Amino acid sequence: MENLRQLFKDLHEFYFKKEMDKKTKKELSREIGLEVGYLCGNYFLKMNHLHYGYWTDDLPVDITNLHIAQDKYAELIISNIPKSVKTILDVGCGTGQIDKMLIDKGYKVDCLSPSHYLNNQIKNLLGDKSNIFESTYEELQTEKRYDMILFCESFQYIDINKSLTNTYNFLNKNGYMLICDIFKKDVEGKSALSGGHKLSRFHDLISENPFKLIESIDITEQTAPNMDLMNDVVQNVIRPSINAGLKLSNSRHPTAVKVIKWFFRKKIEKLKNKYCNQDRTGEEFKKFKLYQLLLYQKND
Ligand SMILES: C[S@@+](CC[C@H](N)C(=O)[O-])C[C@H]1O[C@@H](n2cnc3c(N)ncnc32)[C@H](O)[C@@H]1O
């Protein structure tokens, strides 16, 4: 109940606070998307994380296995943490589930996320075992320093320059930065899939910063099936459900439906282009995106 109350509060803020600037609206809309994603995924599919699943050959690609694939992704991250690391800052920590796994393994973990709603879930999950910064990474201010800073599918949302500068400053001597995220490849054509910093820009900027590459693992092949699953859910569940709901509402309140459709016409068109496009497949993902685990060490 508390979850739904917070969600309605956020939706009200998003639609009716006219003075909100475009950037804040975009950030809030992303956070609301994550809240809805978490509520539905957790309730229907037992999902605890907000990242993609990591599909190994032995795991059938099926939506009911998504929570297992997500755990495998978390295990991949944990298995790549250097031995000397004891303290970690998880930037864009989502639901804090990976942080619970890390704390259970003996790491000292602090969490950072701008989402008030998700941070409340984390407080329930971790209690006083973790310090939670409710902030964007760009705005973080702290005297604390860490052995490793983790970006688990959150790097794409943060300005690269700011990420690299802050990470350098918040790391201990010879500390590590672990990024596991999507990047946009430099290929011809336009993709229906959004997300990820441009790979070439990331390479340019990281080469100007004092970080040394320690490990690079391409996991595009193991993450691409998430796109096929999402596409399947959209085409076979979400789309037909919306159409059926619209048909029913239209037959009962045709004028109200027309007014609502007109009021939200731009948003509806945007959502249609973004989610109802048949090109949102694993093949498309492999063509336009690179999903990588990258481990860097700070050069002092
Ligand atoms: C796709 S979720 C990944 C969550 C989590 N790391 C996981 O693996 O399940 C992206 C996360 O990035 C966070 N985020 C978005 N913009 C951010 C920013 N500017 N600074 C810090 N975190 C941000 C979101 O709140 C969310 O927790």
Q: What is the pLDDT of residue 13?
A: 65
Q: Which of 154, 167, 219 to mutate to test the pocket of ligand 1 (most atoms within 8 A of CB)?
A: 154
Torsion of CA 233, 239, 240, 241, to 10 degrees: 90
What lies within 8 Å, CB to CB, of 224 at 6+ separation is 282, 283, 285, 286, 291
- The pair phi, psi for residue 63, each rounded to 5°, is -55, -30
Q: How far apart are CA 205 and CA 25, in angstroms?
A: 28
Strand partners, 294: 179, 216
| Ligand 1 midpoint to CA 37 (Å) | 13
Q: What is the pLDDT of residue 1?
A: 61
Q: Which of 157, 164, 223 to mutate to test the pocket of ligand 1 (most atoms within 8 A of CB)?
A: 157
Query: pLDDT in tens for each of the 300 residues of the chain?
Result: 666 666 666 666 665 555 566 667 777 777 788 888 888 888 888 888 999 999 999 999 999 999 999 999 999 999 999 999 999 999 999 999 999 999 999 999 999 999 988 898 899 999 999 999 999 999 999 999 999 999 999 999 999 999 999 999 999 999 999 999 999 999 988 887 889 999 999 999 999 999 999 999 999 999 999 999 988 888 888 878 888 888 888 888 888 888 888 888 887 777 777 666 667 899 999 999 999 999 999 998
Determine the length of the chain: 300
| Ligand 1 midpoint to CA 94 (Å) | 5
What lies within 8 Å, CB to CB, of 231 at 6+ separation is 278, 280, 281
Q: Give residues (CB < 6 A) around ligand 1.
A: 31, 34, 49-51, 91-94, 98, 112-115, 136-138, 152-154, 157-158
pTM: 0.84
Q: Answer yes or no: are the C-beta atoms of 34 and 118 closer than 8 Å.
A: yes
Q: How far apart are CA 69 and CA 75, in angstroms?
A: 10
Tell me which residue has its CA closest to atom 20 in ligand 1.
136
Q: What is the pLDDT of residue 110?
A: 97
Tell me which residue has its CA closest to atom 10 in ligand 1.
154
Tell me which residue has its CA closest to atom 4 in ligand 1.
94
Q: What is the pLDDT of residue 100?
A: 96
Residue 121's CB is within 10 A of a number of other CB atoms, namely 20
Q: Which helix or strand (DSSP H or E) is residue 283 part of?
A: helix 282-288
| Ligand 1 midpoint to CA 31 (Å) | 9
Q: What is the pLDDT of residue 224?
A: 96
Q: What is the pLDDT of residue 117?
A: 85
Tell me which residue has its CA closest to atom 14 in ligand 1.
92
Q: How far apart are CA 256 and CA 25, in angstroms?
A: 26
Q: How far apart are CA 45 and CA 253, in angstroms?
A: 33
| Ligand 1 midpoint to CA 114 (Å) | 8
Q: Which of 34, 111, 113, 158 to mutate to test the pocket of ligand 1 (most atoms within 8 A of CB)?
A: 113
| Ligand 1 midpoint to CA 220 (Å) | 20
